[in-house]
Each structure stands twice: as C-alpha cells, then as structure tokens.
Copies of this chain bind each other. A is one copy, B any other.
Amino acid sequence: MHRPVVVPPLRTTLPARYYTDADHFRREVDHFFFTKWICAGRADQIPGAGDYFLREVLGESLIVVRNAADSVSAMFNVCRHRGTRICEASCGTFQGSIQCSYHAWTYDLNGRLIGAPHMDDIAGFDKRNFPLKPVGCEVWDGHIFINVASPAAPLHAQLGPVMDRFRPWRMEELRLVHRTVYDVKANWKLIVQNYNECLHCPVLHPLLNQMHHYLGASNAPSERTYCGGTMGFKEGVETLSRDGKLRRKYLPGLGPEEKALVSYFSIYPNLLLTLHPDYMVTVTLWPKAPDRTELICEWHFHPEEIARPGFEFQDAIDFWEVTNREDWHVSELSQAGISSRAYEPGPYSSREQLLWDFDQVVRQELDERT
C-alpha cells in the first residue's frame, strides 16, 4: 500500500506584530518584565550596608540596596507622601536611611517609613501603612534577581535546574571589571534570537568564527525559562580573546571538560550568560520600545586574577566589543526589515532550533496561537 509523503509545515519566524506593535510590546513586557524574575545586576556592586544602585525597567525606577551584610532588598523609588522620586544618583551609599528631598519623609533600608514631618496631627495616619513599595529580590550565585509581582513565587520556581548547572564556574566569586552599555534599535527578542544560533557566524563574525566551528554547538534541551548550549574551541584556541590565547588562570572550579568550551545560555527574559574558561560575560536586556533595547554588557573575572600584578583583561573586552557590535548591528537590520509591509514570517533552518523553541515560549506565555 502506498503511503503518501507528509511534508510538515515550515517552521517560520514570528509575525511582525511581535516586533513592531506597541500594544503587543506593552503586553509582552508587562508579562515578562513585570511578573517574572529579571536579572538586575551583581551583588558585588553593593558590598556594604547602605550601598545601592538604581535599575530602570521601562520607566520604573527601582532601588536595589544592601540592607544588611548578607541581605539585599529592592523597592520602588517613589515617596509615599506626594509621589516624588526619592533617589537620583544611579548608585551610591545611603547613610542608614533613605530621605526624600522634598518634605523629608524618611525610610529605613528595608523601606519602612520612620519619619514624616507634620503628619502627627493627621487623624488616621499611621506610618506603618506607608512603606516604600517592596520589590521581590533574591540572589543566585552572585546575580541579583528582582520581581515586581506581588507576591512573587520563589526564584527557584522560575529558574529550576539551571540554577545548579554552573556550579563549577563559582559565579558568586567573580567581580565586575568592565561595563559597556549599548542602545540598540531592535526588539529585545531579536537580541535573544541572535544569541542563540551560530549559523550567522561565518558571514558576520570573522573573529568569532576563528574560535568555534559554527556548526559545533551542543544544545541543552530547551526549557520554558531558558535555552542554551555549549561550543567547543577550534584546534589551538584556549578562550575567546583577540587571538584565542589564555592570559589568566582557569577559573578554579573547572574540570578538563569545562575548560574546553564556552557556555551560552539565555535565562529568560533578560540575561544572556556566557561562561568562558577564565571569565564570565553577562548581558542584561532592557526593552525601551518595540524597536529599542538597552543592553548592559559586563565582564567579570576572578578576584585572584584581578589582584595579580600584570592582570590583563583588554583582550576579552576587545573580543566581545567587536562581536557584540556585529550582532547588534545586524539585529537592527532585522528590526528594519521586519517593520516592512513586505515582511512575512520566513523559514528557519535546522540550525535555528533554539530560536523556534524561544518563539514558542513567547507564544505560550502570551497565550497566542499565531
């Protein structure tokens, strides 16, 4: 009996509205950035009690502060009196309390209101009812995650098994050495998609393509909250640097296998985590508009290396500056083309499996079929 050949439908990219529509964008970022845990930065940026940094999430200014030696918390940067933004400097140190510069309402480092001039004679006023509004805050291996949802499920309920995956790299020990902020004219998802395939490496990345074989990725099974994989080095390459040479010791927890590869993981929605044998790069994504995303790229090294005389790191900065700019530029070209009335979803190759997986997560999270 003859059995017909069944041709499955082509797996195609998302419709244009996912990248260009203002209403879709609001719905998407409301879901991914205001109900999920997002990566806000690193705990080593605020080592002492009172140290803080501000993080802006789509116009919301949030304070991330170390309120005790072993504890970090986060709260909205909005005074409960007349709504004034309390804190202006993007980072700094509070001297024991947080005071609004307008009428001197004062909060402790946990956000509790402890001073409100001329409110004592107001019947029904109770300081306990007017704390700075809290934001969920947890630390995973040195990465500070925050969650605006109230109440928020614990971080491990979102991240799951990926939380244990990178133990050998001892990420919590690493220290920030360099930061570059990029303003990219592309939707945040195009940055995630660009990160998750190396099919473009031979055409776009002459330097990176000397380091990995572009078809050499070994992908982990995609999960609802992340995707990623590893890539080994080409013969003679030791790490990702200008020339592939290693200028620092291997991170102390790595075995032979981990020393021979780079891990590339997208922790949805906003952390791109790249682990090398001798350093870590994090990129956090901050959507500003359907067609605009701010990217904060940070390079982290081991403190023993940083302390070593003659510590070198510029090779790692240079490598990723070159590669990043190639990636962001082509992502901007994608944004421009997808905005055309001529755009229609195009077919993925078999080398773009992780992108398809990510697209389906976006669809499912937003409960969209098309």
Contact = CB atoms under 8 A, between A and B. Distances in A.
B8 A124 contact: yes
Contacts of A80: 346
A240 to B, nearest CB: 21
A77 interface: yes
Contacts of A88: 333
Interface string A324-341: 000000100110111111
A102 B340 CA distance: 17
B350 A84 contact: no
In terms of DSSP, what is the predominant structure of the interface of chain A? loop
Contacts of A208: none
B7 A84 contact: no
A81 B12 CA distance: 9
A83 interface: yes
Contacts of A9: 124
Contacts of A339: 59
Nearest to A199: B103
Nearest to A99: B203
A8 B123 CA distance: 7
B334 A83 contact: yes
Q: How many copies does the complex hold?
A: 3
A168 interface: no
Nearest to A13: B82
A103 B203 contact: yes
A171 to B, nearest CB: 31
A337 B79 contact: yes
B342 A76 contact: yes
Given A203-B102, A204-B102, A333-B101, A350 B78 contact: no
B340 A76 contact: yes
A122 B350 contact: yes
A305 B8 CA distance: 64
Interface of A: 7-10, 13, 16, 34, 59-61, 76-86, 88, 101-104, 117-119, 121-125, 130, 133, 193, 199-200, 202-204, 330, 333-334, 336-343, 346-351
